[in-house]
Amino acid sequence: MHVRALDASGKATPKVWQGPVRPGQWDRFVMRVKWSPDPSVGFIELWRNGQVVIPRSSRPTMQRLGDGTADPNYFKQGLYRRSEVARSQVVYHDATKVGLRYEDVSGTAGAR
């Protein structure tokens, strides 16, 4: 599994994080994103199983269209791979949430 981001010009960067996928094990990912084509405004953060794997990283998180306006974003998740990968693969997604705070989506709300 890996995460790519955008550079200041809006082009995809090399991987900013990469980690192993462990068959038969669940992982809990929490990603925080401030959407903006402006690298001084936009940022990403990523936690895996409660551990920070991408600290807050300022960068553009939206691309600009030809007229300079921000290209709208949308959420999608899945198993993406090169077309030459022919073997069967399965990934399960469960309890995808959108929230305003880490605690809203991490399953740690009210935990002490």
Indicate the pTM of the whole model: 0.79
Q: Confirm if 51 and 28 have CB atoms less than 8 A apart.
A: no
* Intra-chain end-to-end CA distance of the chain, in Å: 31
Mean pLDDT of 53-76: 88
Encode pLDDT of 9-44 as tens digits.
667 777 889 999 888 899 999 999 999 989 899 999
Mean pLDDT of 72-76: 82
The 3-state DSSP class for residue 70 equals strand
The pLDDT of residue 32 is 92
DSSP string, 12-53: BPSPSEE----TT----EEEEEE--SSTTT-EEEEEETTEEE
The pLDDT of residue 48 is 94
Q: Using alpha carbons only, how large is the chain's radius of gyration in Å? A: 16
- E strand or H helix that includes residue 54: strand 51-58
